[in-house]
């Protein structure tokens, strides 16, 4: 069993060869060396996952590695950037061969899939914690910021909302072994970073964020930084059929759809005159996108029911919605 | 007291204005945006400090912040790079206003001193852990690698060795309140990153590493990656007067000088024909540099005493040395 940091790095993490163009030096020295192209703009993001906080104790090494990289890939998606390289800081209570092997295999599987290269890292002793910093490249220096939304822009989300939060909420309930919860747990543990969609909409979206803290919290960041408000049509929020089935039994959990994080879908704003362009683009998207509302000058985040009336009680609003499906 | 991540970031960490040229977007979005110069080469390094592993429980927030950034600055020094920007992943058991204030003040004090900009981060709940990823810029794309040493190169170190390890070793001893240990603890908690020296020697050094794991372990990395050996003159190893005083009383700790890490001095190799240039440069250095040995073709790390004899027992070798001072 390898015990030193150097053994661990060499055996498990120094395996992406040949290296991508521009990476003059990868793992193994005091720093990696990365050559920039002229005028290149890098998007830089860092995220930590701690055991017991961001994932339950005893989550598999594969799922941890997957999610640690994906939450960072999702940040790149939200900026419209192409992921290029990342660094890994891994704190482990005790180096275990099996755990490291499984972790590294999963990490490189997702890294290879998204063509992103591990260039360096730090492996050290401590409570289980994974920090990844990722760098992405932007075409034409253009990024989708949280601050770019304008009154009249149309609000969209990718995929479905609330699946991951429902999985967590139902973990200890009777329903925890149903087909529905199995699906929801796959959404919690294996969210899909919407990297391609982010790149595709970068030239037409006015603002974008990935939904890590829940639709309302994250859309709220766009509204605050853009100094605008929004009207969201509750009845349009996209739910998976599995979530719908379970919400009918667990009406007390309706608000996970707007408050639940961890789905890593994108929420983005499109100027009205670009909607046709979005429709064309979306035929190639890996998942559905759903039009959920509009940016307003109200400075508030308002919810509407099907009749266009303001809904003040989320639970009530969702009640109406879910039963209609 | 701020409780949310956004409050914490806004109140404590979003304070370096105006931002450095090239940083198009700093803290506050899904990613920071950084514009590269044409042909620029970035040196990238990441390091984690965990409570109870890399610093004792109850270390002050100021010292933790200082060291978390300095260990990364030291990696830049070892590559000969100019630090440019960094990201911070901070896990905290419980956000405390006083702790955060002290941590941030110390972090920005050292960041400002070395002209390096915090561009993004992640603040989250978990056992106390600080991960910083730093990026530095290289002039002429030249970096000092661990793999560049050649037979005949002369080996040097900056500053003095073993101070930090002696501080830790003597922490619970009678001597722990002496002037000497106060000095040694300042070396442990406030190591000086040799950034300027790293930049100055970059064009003449064949190899360089920062001493984080102890002289012999770190010089060993150079030897292994350069496929060479070395002879080190034990009697030349630079000790602080404080370390010398304490080592006379604690002869059992002699080997901390070669095995003790955490000093963050540089160990580097200079071709013989560049020694005169180094002498000239060194008059402007912030600390002494000491010639400690030579790269050989033996593939081993050998120690010599004053008579040029091989020393097989470190303690014995040091015994001779310290008493001679």
| Model pLDDT for residues B47-102, shown as the tens digit of each residue | 999 999 888 898 999 999 999 999 999 999 999 999 999 999 999 998 788 999 99
Please name the residue that has the structure tokens 């770190």. Answer: B218
Compute how many other C-beta atoms are within 10 angstroms of the C-beta atom of residue B100.
Answer: 20
Residues in a beta bridge with B270? B154
Print the SS3 string covering A161-197: CCHHHHHHHCCCCHHHHCHHHHHHHHHHHCCCCCHHH
Residues in a beta bridge with B88? B121, B132
CA distance A134 to B16: 22
Write down the pLDDT at residue A324: 41
Cross-chain residue pair A147–B122, CB shorter than 8 Å: no
Non-local (6+) Cβ contacts of A277 within 8 A are A204
Nearest to A43 by CA among A87, A77, A19: A77
Residues in a beta bridge with A48? A131
Q: What are phi and psi of A83, to 5 degrees?
A: -60, 140
Which alpha helices (DSSP H) does B190-240 contain, by range? 195-201, 215-226
Helix, strand, coil proportions of chain A in percent (round to 5)? Answer: 40, 25, 35
pLDDT tens digit sequence for A172-203: 675 556 888 899 999 999 999 999 999 999 99
Facing A124 at nearest CB: one of B24, B48, B225: B48
Integer CA distances (angstroms), B102 to A102, A111, A155, in order: 39, 37, 41
Integer CA distances (angstroms), A18 to A23, A35, B212, in order: 10, 16, 30
Give A2's pLDDT tier (boundaries 50, 70, 90). very low
> Six-digit token pair at B325?
């001072």
Give this complex's ipTM: 0.87
Nearest to A4 by CA among B125, B310, B224, B64: B224
Q: What are phi and psi of B266, to 5 degrees?
A: -100, 140
Q: Does A139 touch chain B (CB under 8 A)?
A: no
Average pLDDT over residues B18-26: 71
Facing B126 at nearest CB: one of A41, A53, A225: A53
Question: Looking at the domain that runs over A5-141, which CATH code has it been given?
Answer: 3.30.1330.10
> Which residues of chain A lie closer than 8 angstroms to B53, CB-CB?
124-126
CA distance A212 to A224: 17
CA distance A177 to B215: 55
Facing B46 at nearest CB: one of A38, A39, A120: A120
Q: So where are chain B's domains?
A: 5-141, 154-324
Give B3's pLDDT tier (boundaries 50, 70, 90). low
Please name the residue that has the structure tokens 């001893």. Answer: B173
**What residues 270-299 of chain A have any CB closer than 8 A to a CB of chain B?**
none
> Which residues of chain B lie closer than 8 angstroms to A141, CB-CB?
24, 35
Residues in a beta bridge with A42? A137, B34
Compute how many other C-beta atoms are within 10 angstroms of the C-beta atom of residue B158.
Answer: 27
The whole-angstrom distance between residue A40's C-alpha and the CA centroid of its chain comes to: 24
> Six-digit token pair at B51?
């409570």
CA distance A160 to A175: 20
pTM for the model: 0.90
Residue B127: pLDDT over 70: yes
Q: List the single range of A34-48, B162-176, B268-282 with lowest mean pLDDT.
A: B162-176
Give B226's pLDDT tier (boundaries 50, 70, 90). very high
CATH top-level class of A154-324: alpha beta
Compute how many other C-beta atoms are within 10 angstroms of the C-beta atom of residue A204.
Answer: 16
DSSP single-letter state for residue B287: S
Sign of CA dihedral B93, B96, B100, B102: negative
Q: Which of B3, B10, B29 to mutate to test the interface with A (most CBs of A within 10 A)?
A: B29
Strand, coil or helix: what is B211?
A: coil
Write down the pLDDT at residue B17: 63
Integer CA distances (angstroms), A254 to A150, A157, A165, A301, A316, in order: 29, 18, 11, 18, 9
Residue A321: pLDDT over 70: no
């Amino acid at each position: 069993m390898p015990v030193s940091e150097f053994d661990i790095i060499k055996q498990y993490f120094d395996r992406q060869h040949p290296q991508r163009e521009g990476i003059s030096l990868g793992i193994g020295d005091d720093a990696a060396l990365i050559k920039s192209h002229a005028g290149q703009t890098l998007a830089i993001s860092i995220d930590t996952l701690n055991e017991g906080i961001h994932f339950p104790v005893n989550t598999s090494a594969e799922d941890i590695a997957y999610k640690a990289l994906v939450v960072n890939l999702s940040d790149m998606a939200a900026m419209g950037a192409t992921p290029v390289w990342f660094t890994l800081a891994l704190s482990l209570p005790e180096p275990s061969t099996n755990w490291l092997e499984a972790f590294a295999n999963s990490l490189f599987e997702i890294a290879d899939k998204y063509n992103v290269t591990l260039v360096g890292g730090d492996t050290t002793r401590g409570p289980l914690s994974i920090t990844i910093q990722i760098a992405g490249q932007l075409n034409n220096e253009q990024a989708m910021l949280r601050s770019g939304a304008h009154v009249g822009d149309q609000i969209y989300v990718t995929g479905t909302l609330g699946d991951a939060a429902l999985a967590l909420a139902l973990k200890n309930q009777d329903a925890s072994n149903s087909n529905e919860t199995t699906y929801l747990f796959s959404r919690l543990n294996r969210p899909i970073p919407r990297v391609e969609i982010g790149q595709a909409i970068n030239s037409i979206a006015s603002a974008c964020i990935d939904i890590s803290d829940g639709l309302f919290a994250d859309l709220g960041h766009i509204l605050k930084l853009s100094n605008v408000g929004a009207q969201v049509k509750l009845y349009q929020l996209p739910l998976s059929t599995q979530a719908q089935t379970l919400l009918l039994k667990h009406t007390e959990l309706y608000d996970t759809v707007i408050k639940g994080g961890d789905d890593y879908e994108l929420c983005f704003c499109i100027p009205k005159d670009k909607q046709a362009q979005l429709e064309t683009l979306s035929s190639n998207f890996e998942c559905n996108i759903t039009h959920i509302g509009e940016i307003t000058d109200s400075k508030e985040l308002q919810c509407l029911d099907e009749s266009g009336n303001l809904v003040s009680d989320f639970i009530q609003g969702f009640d109406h919605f879910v039963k209609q499906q």
